[in-house]
Amino acid sequence: MKKFNSKIVFTALAVLLTASCTNVEDVYIETPTSDVIYSETFQNGLGDFKAVNVLGDQVWTYNSSGYAIMTGYENSTNYANEDWLISPEIDLTNIASAYFSFDYAMRYSNDPANDATVWILADQAYSPDTLPNASQWVKLDLKPFVDPGSWTFSNSNDISLNDYVGKKIRIAFRFISSATKAGTWEIKNFIVKKGNATVNTELIYSNPFGSGIGDFTTQNVLGDQVWNFSSQYASMVISGYSETNYANEDWLISPEIDLSSVSEAYFSFEHAGKYFNNPKNEATVWISENYDPSLSVSNASWTQINIMNYFTNTNFTFVNSGNLDLSDFAGKKIHIGFKYVSTISYAGNWEIRNFKVFKGKAGGIESNPFSISEAINYQSGGSAWVEGYIAGYAWPFLNGYAYFATNDTCTQKTNLILADSISNEGFYSSKALCVQLPRGNIRNLMNLKDNKSMAGKKVKLYGTLSTNMGMPGLINPTKYILPDGTSGVSATTIIFSEPFDKNLGQFSILNKKGSQEWTFSSGYGAKMSGFYNSANIENEDWLISPTIDLTNYTGAALSFDHTINKGNVANMRTEQTLWISIDNGLNWTQLSIPNYPKGTDWVYVNSGEIDLDAYAGKVIKIAFKYLCTNSSSATWEIKNFMIYN
């Protein structure tokens, strides 16, 4: 038995300090056994891996975007190289079964089967200061890494280590290039886990859209714009914009895909998009068991599929959709359709390529939840099951957040942090997941203030993968499974909502200073900035809700999504604030916003739950107050405002 020590982790430094809390209570828990044996995301460097150069001047390095990279191409010239990236010793001596996986991007190689290979050294001494002797290493028999035509990362799938259990091993990535051809290999999210590898690489169907539409078909339901093949981007493309926005509904539909002989399957694709108002409503994927290509799509029944990973809607960078589960359709014959919608107000551009259907089990489902390191890679608003150990909680601190590896009496009820493993040294915020705990069963059963014995326990949760409290997160969880097998569903009742997806709704604007005002911006929601005509202009502007009646409720809370950029980050918590009134706006009381965005990009974050229990039984108004000065004027964008029970 070990003490679960009171620790605090600061975001910038990831340094562990003793938490200065009153009434600290030492709680003894049993240290759990993690399924993760070793992991390295390469998020902050090469970690314990060693770069060993055998030939050439180029070497394995770390890219600040969060991956290890090796290329023999430099200054427009190919160079001959042999370079190894070698893991630290990984101990499998007391392990019954194990496997590993990683994400990679491989491009421009002459022969990937020889230029990008993976090797293992077992039960032999090795010094990273010496050159690896290939005769001592075993080359793994893996399928060659394929150049997808973009820098989109793919997953290696699980690679079994069962031949090496009971031993101590090192795993190495060997890169080779020549003066004739030099590729580039990028690697991240390396993880070794206990258990048997899931073999899920049997391809059932594929259409890369590299040279045309293939055996897909299109259906135009509304508008003159249609799906077309783009040779420039090697993808299928649709846009409702042609010198102006047009209303459209267009489908890109697969041929019949036969899953009658499989028990598990999933599919994936790459997509890019921009100029949408809300991609989750306008760029969607559907499945039908009774679609007849000779009839309209409206004659068939369609089920919408959750896209795990959406494009950013700010550029045309392709992203992988994630592996999307087809287990509900195993044993059946189906069609998969991409549905595009536009209006005269907004018309996005959607590009799709590399569509594939596989036999096997998708990740992120209840029977195969994401590990925490896997969930960190899907933070664009898709929904999934995740599994991890309760490692602590987060709380606003000064102008940022503090992360506590503790279950002492200073904890709160609104979030907890999950990690792939528990350590006496705490955790790195970049390698953990902050889970929002909505009011109801999930909060009541898991919060560390009331349930200290949950610290260190392994749980499963289903929710939306999105940044929370300044770190990778899971928000709005609706399903849970506790260590003892107890499971349940948590639901909320919406009292009032305004998505700000078409206009400002019933909200009103109040301009107290400056000539700039709150406006609606298609795709970005309610928007306010004091920056105009290349100058900062001092402003005070309020965005005020209609009256909201809580007289029939015993409790309530609110949340919203927002982003802030182009201002002074240190001033966000004083210049972009939230207020409440119980006397029709005569007097206002400030409410604390738990979760602010970084303030340096356009990434939306959820505000976190804002408690309104003190105002139950009253009639209220909510207001967003914006301030700026002549020296600094941020832009504040808000959407998906919701008050719920």
pLDDT digits (tens, 9 = 90+) for 70-108: 999 999 999 999 999 999 999 999 888 899 999 998 888
Of 410 and 607, the structure prediction assigns the larger pLDDT to 607
Residues 6+ apart with CB under 8 A from 396: 402, 469, 592, 594, 595
CA distance 143 to 448: 45
Residue 423 pLDDT greater than 90, yes or no: no
Average pLDDT of span 192-205: 78
Identify the bridge partners of residue 412 per DSSP, sorted by sequence position. none
Confidence tier at 534 by pLDDT (50, 70, 90): very high
Identify whether the C-beta of residue 507 lies closer than 8 Å to the C-beta of residue 543: yes
Confidence tier at 296 by pLDDT (50, 70, 90): very high
- Six token digits for residue 477: 């969880």
380-378-469 Cα angle (round to 5): 70
CA distance 263 to 520: 48
Which uninterrupted H or E stretch holds 236? strand 235-239
Residue 538 pLDDT greater than 50, yes or no: yes
Average pLDDT of span 478-497: 90
CA distance 389 to 426: 12
Average pLDDT of span 205-223: 93
Q: Poorest-confidence range of 376-380, 384-388, 401-405, 577-581?
A: 401-405
Confidence tier at 343 by pLDDT (50, 70, 90): very high
- Six token digits for residue 562: 């927002």
Confidence tier at 34 by pLDDT (50, 70, 90): low
Which uninterrupted H or E stretch holds 107? strand 98-107
Beta strands in 486-634 (DSSP E): 487-489, 494-498, 508-513, 519-521, 525-529, 531-532, 535-536, 539-544, 548-549, 557-565, 576-581, 589-591, 605-606, 610-611, 619-628
Q: Is pTM beyond 0.85 here?
A: no
Question: Mind listing the domains of the chain with CATH numbers?
Answer: 2-31+370-491 (2.40.50.200), 38-194 (2.60.120.200), 204-359 (2.60.120.200), 497-644 (2.60.120.260)
In the chain, the percentage of residues whose pLDDT exceeds 90 is 64
Of 331 and 151, the structure prediction assigns the larger pLDDT to 331
Residues 6+ apart with CB under 8 A from 534: none
SS3 634: coil
